[in-house]
Amino acid sequence: VDDLGLDTAKILSYLNDAMTSIGLESIVTKNYEDVGDGALILTVSSEGYVTLVWDGREHISVNFFTENEEIGTPEKFVKTFLKSSGEKLQIGLRDDQPRGVNRVINFPSDMDPRFRKPCSAQEFFAR
């Protein structure tokens, strides 16, 4: 932590910068610092969500989902997050996951919106 100078407030600012860069506006952001030595940050938007886990030292895991199907969106998010950190952080592992199960890939444009029920932030957190 000393050499990277990380704390929850800084990591949250990196996350906010990255979300702003791709036009993702947070409806709700929850920050939990009572888990281990680091933090869990959950940000929900009408267009997607970001789950960030920090171990309190030098490891940050980010799970990023967006309804936007553009290939450049995740790249812009990552680039901005790293730039906001002053390039102190680097990618150790990146897994891009297609939507769907087994060999079926589902894009939102392929699914009938009548069967998807949007939920409010209150309904999301009540689950």
Contact 69, 82 (CB under 8 A): no
Provide the pLDDT for residue 127.
Answer: 61
3-state secondary structure 55-73: CCCCCEEEEEEECCCCCHH
The answer to whether 37 and 54 have CB atoms below 8 angstroms apart is no
Domains defined along the chain, listed by start: 8-96 (3.30.160)
Residue 71 confidence (pLDDT): 76
The segments of the chain whose pLDDT lies below 50 read 1
Query: Which residues on adjacent β-strands are paired with residue 103?
Result: none
Express each pLDDT in 39-62 by its tens digit. 999 999 999 999 999 999 889 999
Plot region of 57 (φ>0 → left; ψ -120 to 50 → alpha; else → beta): alpha
